[in-house]
Structure 1
Amino acid sequence: MSAVDASRVPATVDRARSRRRARRRNSRSALLFLSPWLIGFGVFTAWPLIYSVYLSLTDYDVINDPHFIGGQNYVELFQDPKVALALGNTLFFTVIQVPLHVLVALVLALLLNRAGRSAGVFRTIFYLPKMTPPVAVGILFLLLFNGQNGLINTVLGWFGITGPAWTTDPAWVKPGLILMSLWTVGASVIILLAALQNVPDELYESARLDGAGFWRQSMSVTLPMISPALFFIIVINTIGALQTFDEAYTAFFGSGNTTYSNDAALFYVIYLFQQAFEFLHMGYASAMAWVLFALIMAVTAVQLIVSRRLVYYEGETDR
């Protein structure tokens, strides 16, 4: 090694040490700024999540100390007819509500995409119901869908149609809740509208030059280009539907009305809530929560697998 090269070695080492010290300082600063969130996440999310796994293996009523019983809660859960009822109601609601939600949101987004300057006003109008508290939506459901003097049946009566007993007939309780859930479709409309506005006009021009009509353009250009947004909405709304609680609980359980059976509105999370906070079966409720978590993970995994063949992402060529 020459004398010149030897003189450069200490300077190179010093610069490397300075960079390492700078990285350590930056890391400490980042952790310092993140520490409030990290502490909050650990105390209020991570620890309760881990502890709930232990509680699901115990008999715990809040008052007395948890008593370890192994997997007995899970065995009872799969033998409980109320769990089967609640899960069936939840799956029925999800299977009908999610496609209907996506369809209505897509139609409204397509209309807004052609609205021109007035689209801004309608975007606000469609999104405002999303800001309505869920409890208020539950009360609104009782007012609109009242079988005797509700607005929905009143309007149907104008056309000579006798409306059903939405809130008391078990056959119509879930369809009524599904229709009411469309009240908050505005957020999905905004997402799909943004996706539609990002579709390049050149693709439509090329399709028209090839003789494609509106339907062919929609199937070959519009849907593939907005498929990531559609997939996002489907996943998020599926997770939300499987956790349906607020509106149904407010309308059918919150008032304490026992004059008729409300089993048709007994969704899984409502039954979980009852077990935890009405019957104080915290261990059993924790087991129910983990079963729901496993169900949501399984459904989401299936959706992700299916999306590999149906969702188009720009920049990906191996399709």
Structure 2
Amino acid sequence: MQDEAVLINDDRGAAITVAGLVKDYGTLRAVDGVSFTVGAGEFFGILGPNGAGKTTTLEMVEGIREPDQGSVFLLGEPVWPRNPRLLARVGVQLQGSAFFERLTCREQLQTFGDLYGVPRGRADEMLELVGLAGKADVREDQLSGGQRQRLSIACALVHAPDVVFLDEPTAALDPQARRNLWDLLREIQARGTTVVYTTHYMDEAEILCDRVAIMDAGRILALDTPAALVRGLEAATRVALPRGVLDAATARTLPGAETAHEIEDEVVLSTREPARLVAALAQRQALDGVSVRTATLEDVFLTLTGREYRA
């Protein structure tokens, strides 16, 4: 009876249900009691510094690695022991992409598709989706880094999975390639696919993800929408104006100003009443060159995980 009970997913409205995951490597606890759910069609991010346990968590959710404790249900099915029923419903793009040697982009996709019994014409549809239609007959080793990443994602999607896992897909890409990949990821979600995503880039997580979990030392420290996490930080707004417009002593007397410091060629003020402070600057005709920076997801991340370098 216990084995039958394991097959029941208590949260049937979720695409993924994770409860109490633990993974040890000798004396190192890489994942320490992680629990979360991901809704169908949601874009869910897992963020954390190096060594936080993100990739190990993903591998257990994907069914690649056996948890020492806890359970994972994916699309209502347990993922461990390895569940063949899930293979055709899940796509995985790992940190290090591997392709078949000496094959063109079309041949790569046709080969991946053959593993799932997908019609060969699907390869051209996927090349169009990821913007590689013009590279169909080009070998993978002749592509740029951004093009290889898009091909890797196409391989993960060729069988039209319900859930796709993307582990740092924009790592080492230039800014233009990253932005192009963002457009692709938005389109993937718009098609109804559930996306689970890890990244070190806080800006893209803030833009792309419906919710994010911030991990460190194998635990989830916070989980919510990016906007809610930023609001919860209650951080001051930073207002900077060029040095010479006002000195720091005068700036401290402005309505709404909490602190003011001269930093390099700027006077930087902090405030929790930015509208009041900006209005005061406007009255003094001191808005030229002013910049306003509110808290971001990066501020939340650094507050929770610290600022020390992680190798």
TM-score by length of 1: 0.17
Of Structure 1 and Structure 2, which has the larger fraction of its residues in strand?
A: 2
Which structure has more relative contact order (CA 8 Å, sep 6+)? It is: 1
Of Structure 1 and Structure 2, which has the larger fraction of its residues in helix?
A: 1
TM-score by length of 2: 0.17
Larger radius of gyration: 1
